[in-house]
Amino acid sequence: VILNSAKWTEGLDKYFRENMEKEPSLLWQLAGTSTGVYRAYPGYKWRTPNDKDMYDHRRRGWYIQGSSSPKDMVILLDLSGSMTGSKIAIVKLAATYLLDTLQENDFVNV
């Protein structure tokens, strides 16, 4: 799947070059797929291959905003007496992760 996505996105290079010629003020052009393939134009040297790299464009605002419609989100937290210790910690962490995906056009109520 990843190899197919990488092959499919090769065609973008032509358009990246054309865009840069038409609009020289462009600094970067980025493209990412849902499978994790990431392209940047112009290219740049990535970090050293031996370093662990947790970068995932699918968690970046530019990707989330471009790949999704505005969200309407309601988060309901159970704060009853049974939710103590690690249970409430996990619930709060999950809510934080959800909130981190929101963009300026999204709506949320907690």
What's the token pair of residue 44? 């740049």
Check residue 66 and give its pLDDT: 79
Check residue 50 and give its pLDDT: 72
Whole-structure pTM over 0.75, yes or no? no
Check residue 104 and give its pLDDT: 83
pLDDT band of residue 87 (cuts 50, 70, 90) is very high
Q: Which tens digits make up the pLDDT trace of 34-73?
A: 888 888 888 877 776 677 777 788 888 888 877 778 889 9
**Cα(21)–Cα(46) distance, integer angstroms:** 24
Q: Phi and psi dihedrals of 31, rounded to 5?
A: -140, 140
Task: Tell me what percent of the chain is helix, strand and coil, each rounded to the nearest 5.
Answer: 40, 15, 45
